[in-house]
Amino acid sequence: MTSPRIRILATGGTIAGSAGSAIERGYRPGQIGVAELLSAAQALGLDARFDGRDIAAIGSQDIGWAHWNALHMSIFDALLDDDTDGIIVTHGTDTAEETAFLLDLTLQAGKPVVLVGAMRPADAVGSDGMRNLSNAVRVAGDELAAGRGVLVVMSDQVFAAIDVRKAATGGAEAFRGFPRGPIANVTPTSLDWFGPPDRTGRGARFAWPDGLPRVSILTAYAGMEPDAVQCALSGGAQGLVLAGLGQGNAPTPVLDALAKAGVPVVRSSRVDQGSVDRNLEVDDDALGFVAARGLGPAKARILLQVLLANGIADPVRMQAEFDRR
Ligand code: GLU
């Protein structure tokens, strides 16, 4: 068998981060470009052929429409390129779940697309970057990685974009999946899928839009004031996501203000795990809300943006998309 041809698209993050010393506490993400990443990957002697592109050199807290647009275009090109078998995106971990899910919603699933990051900078003692990159190469070069949507590889585990969350601020094992945990275990020399590819159809779920509308997340807390809703609307929000209490709840005055907001409202939870379902304690039918189901606030926001950008604003149709897996 010939070695898989992997395209690496670099965006920055800790995997490209440098502290300047192996024991320095502070560091700067996005210091290492794709050329350096490629030669480091090549030096590992992995069974793959590489080429690469620099998309950005940022901490992923600064990612936004322009980067996403460039990234989407580059992946789209690589998907059409007969000389590329799989695509790896190196990315900061802070917003990896948002980028992965946005790409998952808008790309066809015919070739593996894998996001990978690191929790420790490249020059730190015990850096996880090259281990994670080697694992990502293993996944991106595997035919069985296609047909599962965009994947995220961290700490010897593979997660589907729809499930993955950054669940810890530190430590190499910072990612979790919900409702599914990891869908495979991976090392540089092994890859064990827990089931067959599960995505129905290989086409993109949504068209790539010309832009994404402003959607704000409002985090609920005891005593939350309803004027947060008006504040978001005055800032130009065209949709709102409630990062609610428990099952997507909020103080009654806030729910009243959301019902009158005049823009689509999605109820998610500030709790790390668990589904937000319709009409349990909050009367979604009467108030016109959409329940986020298994999506946390950050990914619920991405889906709401993509729906609005594709002209889908009817709550029943929106709910069907939030129900879909
Ligand atoms: N905040 C930076 C980012 O998300 C560094 C964190 C990381 O990559 O782990 O890019």
Q: Which residue, 193, 223, 242, sits at the end of a domain? A: 193
Domain assignment present for 45: yes
> Do 165 and 229 sit in the same domain of this protein?
no
Those residues whose C-beta lies under 8 Å from the C-beta of residue 12, and which sit 6 or more positions away, are: 29, 30, 56, 57, 58, 59, 60, 90, 91, 92
Q: Which residues 6+ apart lie within 8 Å of 2 measured at CB?
A: none
Question: For each of the chain's 325 residues, which pLDDT tens digit applies?
Answer: 689 999 999 999 999 888 887 777 787 878 889 999 999 888 999 989 999 999 999 999 999 999 999 999 999 999 999 999 999 999 999 999 999 999 999 999 899 999 999 999 888 888 999 999 999 999 999 999 999 999 999 999 999 999 999 999 999 999 999 999 999 999 999 999 999 998 866 789 999 999 999 999 999 999 999 999 999 999 999 999 999 999 999 999 999 999 999 999 999 999 999 999 999 999 999 999 999 999 999 999 999 999 999 999 999 999 999 999 8
- Residue 203 within any structural domain of the chain: no
Chain center to CA of 231 = 27
pTM of the complete model: 0.96
Domain count, the chain: 2
**What is the structure's pLDDT at 154?**
98
Residue 135 shares a structural domain with residue 15: yes
Are 14 and 162 contained in the same domain? yes
CB 94 near ligand 1, within 6 Å: yes
Q: Do the domain assignments include residue 41? A: yes
Q: Do residues 104 and 248 share a domain?
A: no
- Closest alpha carbon to 142 in 107, 184, 112, 183: 112
**151, 226: one domain:** no
> Does any domain span residue 104?
yes
142, 227: one domain:
no
**205 falls within a domain:** no
Q: Is the CB–ligand 1 distance for residue 121 below 6 Å?
A: no
Is the CB–ligand 1 distance for residue 13 below 6 Å?
A: yes
Q: For residue 15, give the ligand 1 atom closest to its CA.
A: 8
**What is the amino acid identity at position 306?**
V
Q: Is 311 exposed, middle or buried (0-12, 13-18, 19+ CB in 10 A)?
A: exposed
The pick from 93, 97, 152 for probing ligand 1's pocket by mutation, whose C-beta has the most ligand atoms within 8 angstroms, reads 93
Reduced to 3 states (helix: H, G, I; strand: E, B; else coil), residue 251 is coil
Asked if 107 and 222 sit in the same domain, the reply is no
Cβ pair 232, 240 in contact under 8 A: yes
Q: Do 185 and 227 belong to one domain?
A: no
**Which domain CATH number covers 110?**
3.40.50.1170
Look at residue 206 and tell me if it is in a domain: no
Tell me: do 138 and 286 sit in the same domain.
Answer: no
Please check whether residues 241 and 121 belong to one and the same domain: no
Measured in Å, residue 111 CA sits from the centre of ligand 1 at 26
Give the residue from 288, 320, 322, 289 showing the smallest Cα distance to 303. Answer: 322
At 1 the pLDDT is: 65
DSSP state of 128: -
- Examine the fold and report which residue of 124, 159, 193 is the final residue of a domain before the chain moves on: 193
Quick check: is 202 in a domain?
A: no
Active site residues: 14
Q: Which residues of 257-290 are buried (b: 16+ CB within 10 A; e: fewer)?
A: bbbebebbbbbbbbeeeeebbbeeebebeebebb
What's the gap in Å between 92 CA and the centre of ligand 1?
A: 4
Ligand 1 neighbourhood includes 128 CB (under 6 angstroms): no
Residue 64 CA to ligand 1 center (angstroms) comes to 14
59 CB less than 6 Å from ligand 1? yes
Res 170: pLDDT: 95
Q: Are residues 184 and 77 in the same domain?
A: yes
- Same-domain pairing of 307 and 221: yes
Last residue of a domain, one of 140, 159, 193: 193
**Per the domain annotation, does 261 fall within a domain?**
yes
What is the CA(169)–ligand 1 centre distance, in A?
A: 10
Q: Which domain holds residue 60?
A: 5-193
What is the C-alpha to C-alpha distance for residues 161 and 195, in angstroms, rounded to an integer? 16
Q: What CATH number does the domain containing 300 carry?
A: 3.40.50.40
